Amino acid sequence: MAFHEISLTVNGSLEQVRVPSNLTLMRLLRESLALTGTKNGCSAGECGACTVLLNGEPVNSCMVLAVECDGAEVITVEGLASDGQLNPVQAAMMQAGGVQCGFCTPGMLISARALLDRNPDPGEDEISEALVGNLCRCTGYIRILESIKEAAKLQATRA
């Protein structure tokens, strides 16, 4: 197995790591960097639990090889809050009751963050469209969608 030296920025801090060719970004985050907020629900790009922001775009980190991330900037759920202040998507998710078992939550939050970065005031259809790749078995999505509407409002008042 070939190994590669790569460096990438994860949640604002520079990481230099030696990774085998077949290591996914998900496993790099969860195992090498112990950033276990990013979840593994299928390792097959089908559930969205492992969603992270890669250079600002939401990706299933189980489908991205670590070697492809040389020089990239990655944001995980652990990087959403700053200085102890929750990101609006996090605060709204708590308030609206969008969390049950919480296993889909990190991926949902990242997809929500990406959506609000694209469009700070999305409509209902746009919200449900943006989350179609993030499966949740507990909540029935109702309060999750609600929370993203709330997050948009919260973000507008904070700005």
Q: What angle in degrees, to the nearest 10, is found between the helix axes of 88-96 and 105-118?
A: 130
- Considering the complex, what minimum distance in angstroms separates the CB of residue 111 from other proteins? 10
Q: Which does 14 bind (CB under 5 to 8 A by kind): ligand FES, other proteins, none?
A: none
Query: Over the range 18-53, which residues count as b (16 or more CB within 10 Å of their CB) and which as e?
Result: ebeeebbbbbbbbeebebebbbbbeeeeebbbbbbb
By CB under 6 A, is residue 47 in contact with ligand FES?
A: yes
Sheet with 73-75: strands ordered across: 13-20, 3-10, 73-75, 51-54, 57-60
Each residue 17-56 as x (binds other proteins by CB under 8 A) or -, in order, gives: -------------x---xxxxxxxxxxx-xx-x-------
Measured distance between the N- and C-terminal CA atoms of the chain, rounded to whole angstroms: 49
Q: Which does 97 bind (CB under 5 to 8 A by kind): ligand FES, other proteins, none?
A: other proteins
Q: Which does 60 bind (CB under 5 to 8 A by kind): other proteins, ligand FES, none?
A: ligand FES
By CB under 6 A, is residue 136 in contact with ligand FES?
A: yes
Strands (E), 48-140: 51-54, 57-60, 73-75
> 121 CB contacts (<8 Å, ≥6 apart)?
152, 156
Q: Choose the stretch contacting ligand FES; rule: CB under 6 A; options: 9-17, 70-78, 95-103, 113-121.
A: 95-103
By CB under 6 A, is residue 31 in contact with ligand FES?
A: no
Q: Which residues bind other proteins (CB under 8 A)?
A: 30, 34-44, 46-47, 49, 76-78, 80-81, 86, 90-91, 93-95, 97, 99-106, 109, 127-129, 131-132, 134-145
